[in-house]
């Protein structure tokens, strides 16, 4: 009823001040008390049948020169949005504002903000009236989340299609970064690189995530790829504070009493023939096929444990040889002592022989 009275008052005031213009100056009454523009059978309080002509709400500068207000009087509690308004003006920045108001304490502690702002320069702002880019989203950490759903609000994945600079070409997936123009045709994913400036970007595809780098000359590198199965491909060096590799089994089987430990002679023969340790891939194989770090660590541990067994065996042999050498040394020392005694006795015998010879000579 309020809207009806408001419409009648506006119509009457317009007629009085000659601000309402109609074809041939004709004003007709409808049978249902509705107002019709371009129709003699309005179906609502205000029914505008514009055909090919677009209705115009015109203003001429000012704080809020033009706009529409949508009010629901059933909202009476604090925290409820009673009114939405759409207006064109320059209150904050030049553009079209979609503003909402609290049912209580309107703009005095209650809800009073601009969830959507369309700037005159084409930028779009969500929760901001000063969008700096084509799309600027402001809000708290949770409030800034963008959630995409497939049709019917199902759990099926939703696609985000971004338009490239070439007309009629789009690409699937999401590119995050700079200096890259991605596009595709017929389902194929492609990239076009602007070589005037270096940059980097991340590409999210169906089954992998690509981390790409572009040099100043336009040379593209893809140093890191994360695959859906959990594997990662890295081109180049990798540096980290700590790396933990979980792999089973370990190489403790080497210490089993039934382990067949190769002789050093066999290992020497293998090295001379193959130019690498047994059970360790050659340099050519590593260069061609790469190295599984987990398996390689186990193999190296196996060789270290084998080397430990060789060292233990050699230590036993050294101890045995040391004991034998000690016994031989003691024997030699004993022989040397006996030799000294023999030499002394030999000297004494010679001296006695000399004395006997002198006695015999004297008696003659």
Structural domain includes residue 357: no
Query: What would the pLDDT profile of 42-72 be if each residue is shown by its tens digit?
Result: 888 888 887 777 888 888 776 677 888 999 9
The strand ranges marked E within the chain are 35-37, 46-48, 66-71, 81-89, 95-102, 112-119, 124-126, 135-137, 162-163, 170-171, 174-177, 180-183, 190-193, 199-204, 208-214, 220-227, 232-234
Per-residue pLDDT at 236: 84
Same domain (yes/no): 277, 213: no
Residue 4 reports pLDDT greater than 90: no
Per-residue pLDDT at 263: 92
Residue 268 reports pLDDT greater than 90: yes
Torsion of CA 329, 333, 338, 343, to 10 degrees: 120
346: its two tokens: 């030999």
364: its two tokens: 């003659």
Structural domain includes residue 245: no
Structural domain includes residue 22: yes
Residue with token string 């042999």 = 317
Structural domain includes residue 216: yes
Query: What would the pLDDT profile of 132-148 be if each residue is shown by its tens digit?
Result: 889 888 876 555 566 66
Per-residue pLDDT at 154: 62
CA distance 74 to 82: 8
Same domain (yes/no): 260, 222: no
For residue 30, name the pLDDT band (cuts at 50, 70, 90).
confident
Same domain (yes/no): 107, 76: yes
Among 93, 168, 88, CA closest to 136: 93
The residue among 55 and 21 whose pLDDT is bigger is: 55
- State pTM to two decimals: 0.45
The residue among 316 and 54 whose pLDDT is bigger is: 316
312: its two tokens: 């233990």
Per-residue pLDDT at 137: 86
Q: Can you say how many angstroms the Cα of residue 20 is from the centroid of all Cα atoms in its chain?
A: 62
Residue 91 reports pLDDT greater than 90: no
Query: 225 pairs with which residues across the strands?
Result: 210, 233
Residue 157 in contact with residue 138, Cβ under 8 Å? no
Same domain (yes/no): 262, 210: no
Q: Can you say how many angstroms the Cα of residue 319 is from the centroid of all Cα atoms in its chain?
A: 58
186: its two tokens: 């017929």
CA distance 131 to 93: 9
CA distance 39 to 52: 14
Count of CA atoms in the C-beta half-sphere (13 A) of 253: 8
**Of the ranges 198-212, 213-227, 228-242, 344-358, which one carries the lowest mean pLDDT score?**
198-212
Q: Count the Cβ atoms, other than its own, within 10 Å of residue 171.
A: 23
Per-residue pLDDT at 195: 38
Q: Count the Cβ atoms, other than its own, within 10 Å of residue 117.
A: 22
Same domain (yes/no): 208, 171: yes
Question: Taking residues 212-221, what's their average pLDDT?
Answer: 67
Same domain (yes/no): 78, 108: yes
Residue 211 reports pLDDT greater than 60: yes
Q: What is the DSSP letter of 106?
A: T
Residue 243 in contact with residue 294, Cβ under 8 Å? no
DSSP assignments along 157-224, one per residue: -----EE-SSTT-EESSEEEESSEEEEBSTT--EEEE-TTS-EEEEEE-SSEEEEEEE-TT--EEEEE
Same domain (yes/no): 229, 268: no
What is the count of structural domains for the chain? 4
Same domain (yes/no): 203, 259: no
Question: Taking residues 199-205, what's their average pLDDT?
Answer: 59
Same domain (yes/no): 174, 202: yes
Structural domain includes residue 350: no
Structural domain includes residue 118: yes
For residue 187, name the pLDDT band (cuts at 50, 70, 90).
very low
Structural domain includes residue 128: yes
Residue with token string 């059978």 = 41
Q: Name the average pLDDT for the chain.
A: 77
CA distance 146 to 156: 16
- Full residue range of the structural domain in which residue 312 is found: 252-335
Residue 317 reports pLDDT greater than 80: yes
Structural domain includes residue 284: yes
CA distance 136 to 145: 12
Same domain (yes/no): 268, 309: yes
Same domain (yes/no): 81, 106: yes
User: How large a percentage of the chain has pLDDT more than 90?
Assistant: 33
Question: CA dist 108 to 20, 64, 70, 103, Å?
Answer: 37, 19, 20, 11
Per-residue pLDDT at 209: 77
Q: Which of 17-21, 185-189, 234-238 has the highest mean pLDDT?
A: 234-238
For residue 265, name the pLDDT band (cuts at 50, 70, 90).
very high
**Of the ranges 89-98, 202-211, 279-288, 327-336, which one carries the lowest mean pLDDT score?**
202-211
Query: What would the pLDDT profile of 99-111 be if each residue is shown by its tens digit?
Result: 999 999 888 888 9
């Amino acid at each position: 009823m309020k809207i009806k009275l408001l419409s009648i008052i506006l119509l009457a005031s317009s007629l009085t001040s000659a601000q309402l213009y109609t074809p041939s100056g004709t004003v007709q009454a409808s049978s249902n008390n509705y107002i019709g523009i371009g129709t003699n059978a309005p179906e609502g309080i205000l029914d505008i049948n514009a055909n090919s002509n677009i209705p115009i709400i015109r203003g001429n500068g000012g704080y809020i020169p033009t706009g529409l207000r949508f009010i629901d009087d059933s909202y009476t509690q604090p925290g409820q949005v009673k009114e939405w308004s759409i207006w064109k003006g320059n209150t904050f920045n030049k553009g079209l504002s979609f503003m909402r108001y609290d049912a209580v304490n309107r703009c005095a502690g209650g809800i009073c903000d601009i969830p959507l702002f369309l700037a005159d320069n084409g930028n779009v702002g969500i929760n901001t009236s000063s969008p700096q880019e084509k799309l600027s989203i402001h809000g708290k950490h949770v409030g800034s989340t963008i959630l995409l759903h497939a049709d019917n609000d199902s759990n099926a994945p939703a696609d985000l299609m971004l338009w490239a600079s070439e007309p009629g070409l789009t690409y699937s997936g999401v590119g995050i970064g700079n200096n890259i123009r991605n596009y595709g045709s017929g389902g194929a994913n492609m990239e076009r690189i602007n070589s005037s400036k270096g940059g980097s970007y991340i590409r999210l595809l169906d089954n992998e995530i690509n981390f790409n780098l572009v040099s100043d000359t336009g040379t593209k590198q893809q140093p890191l790829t994360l695959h859906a199965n959990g594997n990662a491909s890295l081109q180049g060096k990798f540096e980290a504070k700590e790396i933990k590799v979980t792999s089973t089994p370990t190489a403790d089987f080497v210490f089993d009493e039934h382990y067949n430990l190769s002789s050093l002679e066999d290992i020497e023969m293998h090295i001379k023939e193959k130019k690498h340790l047994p059970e360790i891939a050659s340099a050519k194989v590593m260069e061609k096929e790469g190295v599984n770090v987990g398996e390689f660590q186990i193999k190296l541990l196996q060789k270290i444990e084998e080397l430990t067994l060789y060292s233990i065996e050699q230590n036993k042999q050294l101890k045995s040889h040391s004991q034998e050498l000690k016994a031989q040394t003691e024997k030699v020392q004993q022989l040397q002592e006996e030799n000294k005694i023999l030499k002394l006795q030999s000297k004494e015998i010679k001296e006695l022989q000399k004395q006997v010879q002198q006695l015999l000579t004297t008696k003659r």
